[in-house]
């Protein structure tokens, strides 16, 4: 969490990590037990947040922005999003950015342009996440994509 807050990482990542650390701390060390609000009809809110993150890939989205959109508290949004999607909002945003970059490579875009267009703030940030999710560096993927015919719109 500290490294994410000190780097130029998107705002969503340190926001979500801080919330997770604080929630775990309170859960472990609170004198009184508290019950979590049951997950219920938040599917629509999670869907809105997913669509927003996919539509605003290039934007440095904050957790506060997402909570206003979903009309949920930051903790509740992070919890229900994670339960519904299987990952926190910042991880979903990174995954969506990498998927979009892969599509751009199929269209013949250069790696630097694809990285910037999908919201990564520099080449090393892009390369680190791309390789972690795809298994190969973006340059290698882009080079191999040149041999694939793209039939999209």
pLDDT in tens, 7-42: 555 667 677 666 666 666 666 766 665 555 555 568
Q: Within a 10 A sphere around the Cβ of 17, how many other Cβ atoms?
A: 19
Evaluate whether 79 touches 40 at the Cβ level (below 8 Å): no
Enclosing H/E stretch for 83: helix 74-85
Chain-centre distance for alpha carbon 121: 14
pLDDT in tens, 52-108: 999 999 998 998 999 999 999 988 998 899 999 999 999 999 999 999 999 999 999
And the tokens for 64?
A: 């506060």
For residue 106, is it left (φ>0), alpha (ψ between -120 and 50) or beta?
Answer: alpha
Which CATH code fits 93-145?
A: 1.10.10.60
**Does residue 3 surpass a pLDDT of 80?**
no
pLDDT, averaged across the chain: 82
In the chain, what are the domain boundaries? 10-88, 93-145
pLDDT in tens, 44-67: 999 999 999 999 999 989 989 999
pLDDT of residue 34: 52
């Amino acid at each position: 969490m500290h490294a994410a807050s000190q780097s130029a990482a998107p705002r969503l990542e340190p926001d979500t990590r801080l919330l997770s650390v604080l929630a775990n701390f309170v859960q472990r060390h609170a004198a009184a037990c508290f019950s979590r609000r049951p997950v219920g009809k938040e599917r629509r809110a999670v869907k809105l947040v997913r669509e927003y993150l996919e539509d605003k890939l290039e934007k440095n989205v904050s957790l506060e922005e997402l909570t206003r959109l979903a009309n949920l508290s930051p903790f509740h949004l992070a919890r229900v999003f994670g339960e519904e999607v299987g990952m926190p909002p910042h991880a979903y945003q990174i995954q969506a950015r990498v998927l979009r970059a892969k599509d751009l490579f199929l269209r013949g875009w250069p790696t630097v342009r694809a990285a910037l267009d999908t919201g990564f703030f520099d080449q090393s940030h892009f390369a680190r996440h791309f390789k972690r999710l795809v298994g190969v560096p973006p340059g290698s993927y882009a080079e191999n994509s040149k041999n694939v015919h793209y039939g999209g719109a």
